[in-house]
Structure 1
């Protein structure tokens, strides 16, 4: 690939931190179940909601408080893909709406075992300033409310791009 023909400059590594807010409890949720879970009574572990799929349009903020500056949205889905634990398949775009990355996006797709302290998922692409992106994110739950399912997750993003 000839970078000059595509107008690409030198590849660089960017690191930034975002907070992902999964809100199920309000009248205007950012995460909705589109496929309910199947019965997993044959599983050797407690109920895992295996088979459930949620579509998301979650706020991405600079701080853990939902009222902090919103810089984009996480749009996509997560599916409960494990019969033995709460393990998600996540497929989402971090669509940026503020700052120098406004109009650009990063695509994250991978396995998220939610009860692990830190989870790592790959960045599989991007658009705008993140064209030809690759890298990874590390997710760490900041807050989870088991009564309503709301969660705030810190995402550390490490992305190579042009």
Structure 2
């Protein structure tokens, strides 16, 4: 019986030692893989421009559902409209600026009183240190507000376990066509 107790104790010591060795090697922990247990990780800051083109011969966002013709909502709200997008992301505000990725997803008018979208998208990064990684954003976007905040709800690649937020500021908007360029500041813990 004492021999079994010593064997069990030795086994537990080896398991604890192996776990401690993994933590020292920077393996993912219960607090994520940004640092060792107890360390605060600094957020990664990404800055780029989003180009949403709904007009012309080569739109990057297309309407797949029109708002109902007879609706009790404000005509300015576009309530019920759904657009699908594959918008370019660039380093600068010019459309021919260096590409950094694509914003792929949808936005739908979900506010009956004003222009307010539910936006669900993946930011697919195609250059730089995060090439091949994605961030998933899901939240409310009121494009007429000066600053909007969308939550980062996840990611892939370098952004596994990602959490954070994106601040959106309209850089340019053509009220006639609906085309827009939006500045994104994304802060993400991963």
- TM (norm. structure 1) is 0.92
Partner of 1:4: 27
The equivalent of 1:91 in structure 2 is 120
Alignment partner of 1:71 out of 100, 107, 119: 100
State the shift of 1:5 in Å: 5.5
How far, CA to CA, are the matches of 1:157 and 1:27 in structure 2? 31
SS at match of 1:4: coil
Mapped to 1, the partners of 2:115 and 2:129 lie a distance apart of 36
Residue among 12, 17, 22 paired with 2:47: 17
CA distance in 2, matches of 1:134, 1:89: 19
Q: More strand by proportion, 1 or 2? A: 1
Q: Could you tell me which of 35, 45, 49 is aligned with 2:78? A: 49
Higher relative contact order (CA 8 A, sep 6+): 1
Q: How much does 1:8 deviate? A: 3.2
Q: 3-state DSSP class of the match of 1:152?
A: strand
Q: How does 1:1-162 map to 2 (within 5 A)?
A: 4=27, 8-10=33-35, 11-39=41-69, 41-43=71-73, 45-161=74-190
Alpha-carbon offset, residue 9 of structure 1 = 4.4
SS state at 1:79 partner: strand
Distance in 1, matches of 2:163 and 2:148, equals: 17
Structure 1 residues not aligned, in runs of 5+? none
Q: Which has the higher helix share?
A: 2
In 2, Cα distance between the equivalents of 1:4 and 1:116? 42
103-112 or 8-17: bigger deviation: 8-17
Q: Which of the two has higher C-alpha Rg?
A: 2
Moved over 3 A (4+): 5-9
- Superimposed CA distance per residue, residues 94-149 of structure 1 (whole angstroms, 9 cap, x where no aligned partner): 00000111000001100011111000010000000000000000000010001111
Corresponding residue number in structure 1 for 2:4: none
How many residue pairs get aligned? The number is 159
CA offset digits 1:7-41 (Å, max 9, x no partner):
93414411121100001122111000011111364
TM-score, normalised via structure 2 length: 0.79
